[in-house]
A and B are shown apart, each in its own frame.
Chain A
């Protein structure tokens, strides 16, 4: 099955700086890559996703890039704010097991005011 690796496990940035989280995947057949934000005591919230037919997608301060050849994708958050502090998960699906998401281990992002 699919294996998703996520780095770093923790990330601290100053308010206003950028944050980058990177993930790699193993199944070349995977074609859908969502990112989730999880706040304490809440379920994961979808913040952005990308499909394998595009290389980049942007939504305001958040962007995701995908390199299919290298099998890695990244989340970029610009102009970070304290409310961006949360755990972020990357995921992949679409390979041999359609539907189920394979998640990375998560990144604890802390934005200091």
Chain B
């Protein structure tokens, strides 16, 4: 079946602009996660959605970052007033809801801030 789909695959924008990154999770996966992977770094947790519960936003690095999940499916990560340090690969993962379930990742959006 279809895996996690992310768009765009690449995004280049100027410093100060806003960007929106999209994630389509695997059908039936009610848990959705965003992570960030900077050059040479590991994966850094950003935010976690689980069904209709309030999201865990504890990993968002600043108030310029926000995320929504509409209808319990598609999610959008928004970065306002982008800075050069926001350049990274933004990865989305989804999983089944109960307990600790395997998280399946998309191929990410490579964001470059000029």
List chain A positions with a Cβ less than 8 A from chain B.
Answer: 31-32, 34, 36, 41-46, 49, 51, 89, 91, 93-94, 97-106
Q: Residue B100 contacts which of A41, A43, A51, A103 (CB distance < 8 angstroms)?
A: A51
- The answer to whether the Cβ of B104 comes within 8 Å of any Cβ in the partner chain is yes
Chain A residues near B108 (CB-CB < 8 A): 43
Chain A residues near B105 (CB-CB < 8 A): 36, 43-45
List chain B positions with a Cβ less than 8 A from chain A.
Answer: 4, 31, 33, 35, 41-45, 48, 50, 56, 58-59, 91, 100, 102-108
Chain A residues near B42 (CB-CB < 8 A): 89, 103-106
A93 touching B58, Cβ below 8 Å:
no
B45 touching A101, Cβ below 8 Å:
yes
Chain A residues near B44 (CB-CB < 8 A): 103
A100 touching B59, Cβ below 8 Å:
yes
Q: Determine the residue in chain B with the shortest Cβ distance to A102.
A: B45
Chain B residues near A105 (CB-CB < 8 A): 41-42
B104 touching A46, Cβ below 8 Å:
yes
Q: Determine the residue in chain B with the shortest Cβ distance to A44.
A: B105
Q: Residue B103 contacts which of A41, A42, A101 (CB distance < 8 angstroms)?
A: A101
Q: Determine the residue in chain B with the shortest Cβ distance to A93.
A: B100
Q: Residue A99 contacts which of B35, B43, B48, B107 (CB distance < 8 angstroms)?
A: B48
Chain B residues near A89 (CB-CB < 8 A): 42-43
A99 touching B50, Cβ below 8 Å:
yes
> In whole angstroms, how far apart are the Cα atoms of A99 and B100 in the complex?
6
A42 touching B58, Cβ below 8 Å:
no
23 contacts between A and B (CB under 8 A): A31-B100, A34-B103, A36-B105, A43-B4, A43-B107, A43-B108, A44-B105, A45-B105, A49-B102, A91-B43, A94-B100, A98-B100, A99-B31, A99-B33, A99-B48, A99-B100, A100-B59, A101-B103, A103-B42, A103-B43, A103-B44, A104-B42, A105-B41
Chain A residues near B107 (CB-CB < 8 A): 41-43
Q: Least Cβ distance of B69 to chain A in Å? A: 14
> In whole angstroms, how far apart are the Cα atoms of A51 and B103 in the complex?
14
